[in-house]
Chain A
């Protein structure tokens, strides 16, 4: 197991290195390390490294790759939690309304040009986060009123109803305001372009605290995968733990999509791959999901910005295009081996 985790961590570092080294201006891995050493530790910069290379790496590529890593890790952890809590392999924060709520919030900001004093350019991400989280809180509150045991099916159904309804409102609003439609669609497709260190500094602690928080519930998560009744009879305070973990997962997802827009598939594919390779224990699944989801997102962003350069593809489309066949390969090859 330790070897596997070391391999996953090495792969994540390799993905980050590729993410910053490859682009219209190629940067050798050694130069990448030298520039980082120069910026972080004040080490002398080797001759031959141009100032523009330093700028490209430090101001553009590194924050972008780190943000992709953090967002991928956050979405992946959130997906792992949702799948286990709701005991549904297709569950994610998106299933129960985070993305639709965030889109609705973003739609309001973009259409009405709202800017909250003091936070200025952070208005869009913060409103997206607040609406995403608000939608899921409303959906779970409604579900708990309908079914005081808060069974998984009730939560998923209510979440989907909320999600579809809010989506419909967003679609109507954007259809009535065609001049803003492009910006809204662009936000909904997700992107890491034009992101600076501010987003990294904001999201990194959220991911660290969020992942540590859900890791604290690793044993409850393990038991919940055996079903609600079994978890209860083993002593899990199911309703409280379920509320806590759903909100935590939604907050983690909401924070990520607030900064980078809606990027699907990572939250679905990464936890599945992790469980296939590392087993199901959440003590391992949660931290390794950060590494695998993060690395996956960095590679997808690399593909998105290089494959049709100088144009950029929507990263959400790449996550699905790269992830779906990879997911199928991992899933079915291991199944075939077992047979």
Chain B
């Protein structure tokens, strides 16, 4: 459903990623991992059409270059980290914005019954059914991130890009949301691409993994096959596997 061939992208004419080639299949849940500055977020922004890209990118068999922004947004949604301050919209109003491309813009772009039901369903999915009328400026960071997730789901895309979506969330919601997205991607020809710093969460999300370093792909394939101790050590410059075993040992001693 999405194919990248020799894709490059960056800021101010300087490429941060280059030579990126991979395909995303329907039903796939891909986790992108790598150290800070390796280009994970840049890759997501290029796929979402926020950054211009070099090389070739095809969405549903059509070249993305020249594709209208609305067409891309109908198929690809992105959930980013929370940043900055927000105006005081209610939870319901915020999630309804995800229906923009479905209800159309403008003065008469009023939501249909189906839109309203979809929005309420998405709000319920993220556990905020009782907060639908609450202004988002009064929510905690975790609640706000769940509102944005509901808005992303309301967009009803084929691909959801996640850029550190579990920041601000407590463990319960981290697990619930990632599991929900995994289930979401497993039906109806959908897919998820997630950037997660926490390796245990990354493993929970992705049945396939893309490992990046220095703006390039180090490895790509099924998570269980690709993520070896040697590769992770090469990627992060520390003995990741040993560190995780040590953590498990501490955990065992606690329990």
Instruction: Determine if chain A interacts with chain B.
Output: yes
Instruction: Tell me if A222 and B89 are in contact (CB < 8 A).
Output: yes
> In residues 18-64 of chain B, which contact A (Cβ within 8 Å)?
45, 48-50
Count the A-B residue pairs with Cβ separation under 8 angstroms: how many? 81
* Tally of contact residues, A, Cβ under 8 A: 28
Contact partner, B50, options A216, A220, A229, Cβ 8 Å: A229
A214-258 interface mask toward B, CB cutoff 8 Å, 1 = contact, 0 = none? Answer: 011111101101110110111111100000000000000000000
The docked-state distance in angstroms from the alpha carbon of A212 to that of B70 is 24
Q: What chain A residues lie within 8 Å of B50 (beta carbons)?
A: 229, 232-233
A177-220 to B contact mask, C-beta < 8 Å, 1/0: 00000000000000000000000000000000000100111111
Stretch in B95-103, B192-200, B201-209, B238-246 with 4+ CB within 8 Å of A: B95-103
- Is B106 within 8 A of A216, CB to CB? yes
- A236 to B: closest C-beta gap in Å: 7
Chain A positions 82 through 99: 1 when the CB is less than 8 Å from some CB of chain B, otherwise 0: 001001000000000000
- A219 in contact with B49 (CB, 8 Å): no
CB < 8 Å neighbour of A237 from B70, B97, B135, B151:
B70
Interface hit among B79-87, B167-175, B178-186, B211-219: B79-87
- Does B131 have its Cβ within 8 Å of any Cβ on chain A? no
| Nearest opposing residue in chain A for B79, CB measure | A233
Q: How long is the Cα–Cα vector from A279 to B92 in the complex, in angstroms?
A: 13
Closest to B138 in A: A338
Q: Does A281 contact B (CB under 8 A)?
A: yes
Q: Is the interface of B mostly helix, strand, loop or mixed?
A: mixed
The residues in B between 147 and 196 inclusive whose CB is less than 8 angstroms from any CB of A are 151, 155
Asked whether A275 is an interface residue with its Cβ less than 8 Å from the other chain, the reply is yes
Contacting pair B73 A235 (CB below 8 A): yes
B74 interface residue per 8 A CB criterion: yes
Query: Inside 8 A of A171's CB, which chain B residues have their CB?
Result: none
Complex contacts, A238 vs chain B, CB 8 Å: 69
Determine whether A123 belongs to the interface, using a CB cutoff of 8 Å to chain B: no
Distance A222 CA – B94 CA, assembled complex (angstroms): 9
Closest A residue, CB atoms, query B49: A232
Provide the bound-state CA to CA distance between A227 and B97, in Å.
13
Chain B hits for A338, CB < 8 A: 138
Bound state CA distance, A223 and B93, in angstroms? 10
Query: For the complex, is B254 an interface residue (Cβ under 8 Å from A)?
Result: no
Contact in complex: B100, A225 (CB < 8 Å): no
Can you report 17 A-B residue pairs in the complex whose CB atoms are below 8 A from each other? A217-B105, A218-B107, A219-B109, A222-B93, A222-B97, A226-B86, A227-B83, A230-B80, A233-B48, A233-B73, A233-B78, A234-B77, A234-B151, A279-B89, A280-B87, A281-B89, A338-B138
- A-B contacts besides A223-B97, A235-B101, A236-B69, 11 pairs, CB < 8 Å: A216-B107, A217-B105, A225-B86, A225-B89, A233-B76, A234-B98, A234-B151, A238-B69, A280-B88, A280-B93, A338-B138
